[in-house]
Chains A and B, each alone.
Chain A
Amino acid sequence: DTGVSQNPRHKITKRGQNVTFRCDPISEHNRLYWYRQTLGQGPEFLTYFQNEAQLEKSRLLSDRFSAERPKGSFSTLEIQRTEQGDSAMYLCASSSRVTSGGSTDTQYFGPGTRLTVL
């Protein structure tokens, strides 16, 4: 198991285009989170899934943003009609309630997808 993976690592798009990012969590982690990080700031929460159910969405997640986790494994984050203000690093994290003498519910982060909107 190599941890949380995200694709693509970098995405450059023109304003008005749609983009989609993918996140593959750690195997068997049932919780998956999306955060957005702009330059010089800490990550901000966007949304969270437990299995395939989207349990919480931030007010930051406008109507142009949609996230899915159809089979409770990988997740996609789509941004429609991108704007320059969408330029940021999009981070995915996963966690699990299953314990085996280790930590519970620690969020493990992927390397992120850096979006640049021209």
Chain B
Amino acid sequence: AQSVTQLDSQVPVFEEAPVELRCNYSSSVSVYLFWYVQYPNQGLQLLLKYLSGSTLVKGINGFEAEFNKSQTSFHLRKPSVHISDTAEYFCAVSRTSGSRLTFGEGTQLTVNP
């Protein structure tokens, strides 16, 4: 079974500052990794995913994440955040491509002016 831990439930930052949202996973097998964003009263939108290949993955809206197998981590980063990045961010894993997603509890990113 897989599990996901998002180490910070809330991350407040100022506009144009860099941000890192941390995600660790636990699995006995190789997994696929995802980051989704959820704006208030909306569904989830895929930011980026890691299936294989380069461990540095670039996504939409200037976000990127790095897969670290030895540390079982998949942290999300953005060098300069905007007010519009304020949202809930979820890290997720799946055992195979297309199988169920197991989500972390989410990190609320709040960007202040």
Contact = CB atoms under 8 A, between A and B. Distances in A.
Interface of A: 4, 31, 33, 35, 40-45, 48, 56, 58, 91, 93, 95, 97, 103-112
A106 B44 CA distance: 12
Contacts, number: 54
Dominant secondary structure of chain A at its interface with chain B: loop
B98 A42 contact: no
Given A42-B90, A43-B90, A107 B43 contact: no
Interface in B60-98: 90, 92, 97-98
27 contacts: A35-B101, A42-B4, A42-B90, A42-B103, A42-B104, A43-B44, A44-B103, A45-B100, A45-B101, A48-B99, A48-B100, A56-B99, A56-B100, A58-B100, A91-B43, A91-B44, A93-B44, A95-B98, A103-B49, A104-B98, A107-B46, A107-B101, A109-B36, A110-B43, A111-B42, A112-B42, A112-B43
